[in-house]
């Protein structure tokens, strides 16, 4: 587990087709202050970009960290939750199909099939062990962000029709790189 030196304030959002977005992330030490600082900065960035979740690969780091909005906070506060080295387990195999977008794939949307309910465990931004489970919208967010940590994008899970609908936007993103 080798951590590169990183300035959390210098993190920027990786946009498709950045190579980091298709790389598998590595476990990190949840007690490492650098990891905790990056997790805190990622929460800030998620809110700055009006997202509901953000994975470390989306900010250029091959680290197994993602952040989400706090599902228990209905206010407009900048309150997020970090998941360091998350592990997901499907607890209801029933499938739901919902439209998803992604901060790293601007203007790309598609109907994505996901299990309805999952259990998650990992460490929080202070390095403490945490676990939760849900069949609410947050379960979809956990799965989306965890996919990022495995190098999987929503375009990899889209139907052929959704890929066709998004083809022009994806080509424009590829040309901009």
The per-residue pLDDT for range 90-139, each reduced to its tens digit, is 999 999 999 999 999 999 999 999 999 999 999 999 999 999 999 999 99
Gap between the terminal Cα atoms of the chain? 30
Say if residues 70 and 79 touch (Cβ distance below 8 Å). Answer: yes
76: confidence class by pLDDT, cuts 50, 70, 90: low
All domains in the chain, ordered by first residue:
11-176 (3.90.45.10)
Active centre residues (catalytic)? 145
79: confidence class by pLDDT, cuts 50, 70, 90: confident
The string of pLDDT tens digits covering residues 134-177 is 999 999 999 999 999 999 999 999 999 999 999 999 999 999 87
């Amino acid at each position: 587990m080798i951590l590169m030196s990183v300035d959390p304030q210098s993190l920027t959002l990786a946009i498709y087709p950045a190579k980091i977005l298709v790389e598998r992330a590595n476990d990190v030490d949840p007690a490492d202050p650098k990891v905790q600082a990056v997790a805190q900065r990622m929460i800030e960035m998620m809110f700055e970009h009006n997202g509901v979740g953000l994975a470390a690969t989306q900010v250029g780091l091959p680290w197994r960290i993602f952040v989400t909005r706090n599902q228990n906070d209905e206010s407009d506060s900048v309150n997020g939750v970090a998941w360091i080295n998350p592990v997901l387990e499907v607890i209801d195999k029933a499938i739901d199909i919902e439209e998803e977008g992604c901060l790293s794939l601007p203007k790309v949307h598609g109907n994505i099939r996901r299990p309805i309910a999952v259990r998650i465990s990992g460490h929080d931004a202070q390095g403490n062990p945490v676990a939760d489970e849900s069949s609410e919208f947050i379960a979809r967010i956990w799965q989306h962000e965890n996919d990022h940590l495995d190098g999987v994008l929503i375009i990899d899970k889209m139907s052929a029709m959704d890929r066709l609908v998004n083809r022009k936007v994806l080509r424009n993103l590829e040309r901009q790189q």
